[in-house]
Structure 1
Amino acid sequence: MPRSPIAPSKPAPITSQLRIIGGQWRGRKLSFPAVDGLRPTGDRIRETLFNWLAPELAGARCLDVFAGSGALGLEALSRGASYSLLLERDHLAAQSLRNNLQLLKASAGHLVQTDSLHYLRQGNSGEPFNLVFIDPPFALNLWAGVIDALEQGHWLAEDASLYIEMPRNQLIATPPNWRLHRDKQAGQVSYRLYYRQTGQPESTP
């Protein structure tokens, strides 16, 4: 009898690795899928960012708006944040985040698989967040919509810290009560840390 044809096996998903660089999980390597638009914040930028944030991390409630690999939200948990809400739309990236949260036994991390902008526009009825990471896929140009949704939806503590990553030389309008604290560039990436204030200082482009 002729042998039945063997269905070709599905290729294994391509994966990359992320290294947590500080805190209780320092040195742990975590895998994440190679998803279009997923661009983890590099070690050099993360090291600088978390040096900036060091005095603010203990007990902070963090919101990672485009979690991707978890590079920012998981690093914050490793360094003492009390809670990290990770928003991620892509199902492969979200499954990887679930696996890594379980691997790390990170009970203070919570993943929601969702369209981040739609989720934010629903508003927040719970406790606001002290630290927010805004690092969307650059090609989607989501900064303005996310910033507006965060302010309008009661997501932010009065003195929240907000990290934004963007292409070099990108101009982004921020609310008048967001004060630019730090601003650096690495290669073709610009990254900024803002402090939200209750007053009304001049707008920062």
Structure 2
Amino acid sequence: MKKSELRIIGGRWRGRRLSFVAEEGLRPTLDRYRETLFNWLMFDVEGARCLDLFAGSGALGLEALSRGAQHVDFVDTSATATRNIKQHLNTLDCERASVYQSGAEPWLKLHQADKPYDLIFLDPPFNKNLLQPCIYLLEYGGFFHENSKIYLEAEAEFSTGRLPSHWQVLKQKKAKNKLFLLLECPTPQAFQANSVT
């Protein structure tokens, strides 16, 4: 099977290269975009609880761990992807993570959050209509608190009008075929309370 490689670009494991089995459709976030994202999140990663949905190579969650995240839950439907991530964690001697082989939507339905996440990475396969159900489940499943942030990668045609109206776009970047968004997502309860005059 074809092997690919990811490089951790910052933090404790800066410069470490990790090889993994490349599956069709797997598209790890490129170094330059990952660097932009973690510049955006400069003051938000240390000590954060993170959720990496559609984890793929695990590049985003591993980068967060390298930069001091308290814990990352990795979720991916692929047995190969989850096996790769477990191997990366073993290579890095990191126990601050859990890895789940599951589709994102069923995982969110089964794991009503007992404690909100500070950062959620949401990077689904493009053009498969996977975002909308996850957005709804994240919104109403107790997965974030008032200052939580979501990083979202989507196809370039994705409209921010499809997001809940009270989600705030903090940062935005477009490539030729991708849209990158950093969002702050007040809880529905906080939104409703702030709407009362």
TM-score (norm 1): 0.88
Deviations 1:71-96 (A, max 9, x none): 10000010111000000111111111
Equivalent residues in 2 for 1:102-117 (5 A)?
102-117=90-105
CA–CA distance in structure 2, aligned partners of residues 38 and 136 of structure 1: 10
Structure 2 counterpart of 1:178: 167
- Unaligned residue ranges in structure 2 (runs of 5+): none
Letter of the structure 2 residue corresponding to residue 158 of structure 1: E
Greater mean deviation of Cα atoms: 82-91 or 121-130: 121-130
In the alignment, what sits opposite 1:199?
A: 191
CA distance, structure 2, for counterparts of residue 141 and residue 31 of structure 1:
29
Q: Give the SS at the match of 1:54.
A: coil
Greater C-alpha Rg: 1
Runs of 4+, deviation exceeding 2 Å: 197-202
Aligned residues: 190
TM-score, L = length of structure 2: 0.91
1:27 and 2:15 are equivalent in the alignment:
yes
Partner of 1:78: 66
Displacement of 1:139: 3.2
Amino acid across the alignment from 1:193: L
Whether contact under 8 Å (1:66, 1:136) holds in the other structure is: yes
Deviation at 1:159? 1.4
Q: How far apart are the structure 2 equivalents of 1:22 and 1:124?
A: 31
1:93 aligns with 2:85: no
Residues in 1 aligned to 2:97 and 2:113: alpha-carbon distance in whole angstroms? 19
Distance in 2 between the 1:132 and 1:76 partners?
11
Indicate conservation of the 8 Å contact 1:123/1:152, yes or no: no
1:34 to 1:120, Cα distance in 2 relative to 1, 3 A = same
Provide, for residues 30-63 of structure 1, a one-character-per-residue CA deviation record: whole Å limited to 9, x for no partner.
Answer: 1122212211100011000000001111100000
Q: What SS is found at the alignment partner of 2:81? A: helix
The answer as to whether partners of 1:124 and 1:153 remain within 8 angstroms in 2 is: yes
> Shift in Å at residue 125 of structure 1?
4.2
**Cross-structure match for 2:34:** 46
Tell me by how many angstroms 1:141 deviates.
2.0
CA–CA distance in structure 1, aligned partners of residues 145 and 52 of structure 2: 15
1:185 shift after superposition: 1.2
Distance change (3 Å), C-alpha of 1:143 and 1:125: closer
- Over the aligned positions, Cα root-mean-square deviation in angstroms equals 1.6
